[in-house]
Amino acid sequence: MNKIDPWQNALKQLASAAKILKLDPGVHEMLASPKKVLTVSLPVKMDDGRIKVFTGFRSQHNDFRGPFKGGIRYHPDVTIEEVKALSMWMTWKCSIVDVPFGGGKGGIICDPKRLSAGEKERLTRRYAYAISEIIGPGKDVPAPDVYTTGKEMAQIMDVYSIMHGQGEPGVITGKPLSIGGSQARNVATGLGVSYCVREAAKKLGLRLKGAKVVVQGYGNAATFAAEYIEKMGAKIIAVSDSKGSIVNTKGLDSKKVLEYKNKNGSVVGYPGSKKITTEQLLTTPCDILVPAALENQITPQIAKNVDCQDGCRGSKWPDNSRS
């Protein structure tokens, strides 16, 4: 299967929206290119004394509405095309919810699971130094993303503050409470997903109590989304992480699954569950499907077989909702 290019995908989405909106061609052209994309070389001393060079990116798509805003991810599959696409999508997201930010995104090509705590910190600090010229309060405010946490945000803030000779908590969000972070920031993404599910269910006439939910991914966003959707009365029947997917149509306890993952390194093997493939997970019959993993998971082929509307038949889905 050919790998989907996220940047080309983002450009196609923009072109489609521009056509519907009858957007001025000049405005379309401006929005089709990031304002700036920085590529940085990151030499890091490893624990065994070797010097290893990593590559990092920071894409600043658009700041018409305010400072660039967007996370930093650590992943082996990070590419400049992915980071550019994510920064464009951040522009749309900030605009849709009417917050005074533009879109930005960062990433480093690495496997954080193979890095020690010390190696990861040295990599983070080197990256912070390398992108320091383009970030800052009122300019570009990064945040956590895939495989980054408040710890990395604190390290970025520390480097930036040292370089400017004073504390600069406004350079980053998602940092720990003890250094000026926001309460509930760690649950915000997942909680926001649960609110969207709740409001969509109202719109569609779907009763959440007893509704079957499939959640792809089991990181920060997915685990809290599962927890809050479960509290609304729905039943989580399948989840996944980078090592595999599991299903139990009778229901899974989201908190117990997380405890198992934290202890064993994966959701796979959770008692009473069956291991399935990613495609099987995404096409499991359910009422609600929550894709909370990396982008481009629902390919055209998988989309044809997604079966998450049975509980909504007869409601307000448009006639072409399965297309």
Q: Which entry of 69, 84, 105, 261 is annotated as an active-site residue? A: 105
Exposure of 43 in the CB half-sphere (CA atoms within 13 A): 3
Of 244, 298, 252, which Cα lies nearest the Cα of 273? Answer: 252
- CA 124, CA 286: separation in Å to the nearest integer? 40
- Per the annotation, the verdict on 261 as an active-site residue is no
**SS3 of 130, please?**
helix
- CA 97, CA 170: separation in Å to the nearest integer? 21
The first and second tokens of residue 80, run together, are 């400049």
Exposure of 283 in the CB half-sphere (CA atoms within 13 A): 12
Cβ atoms 34, 63 nearer than 8 A: no
How far are the Cα atoms of 18, 22, 34, 94 from residue 27, in angstroms, in the given order? 9, 11, 13, 18
Catalytic residues, by residue number, are 105
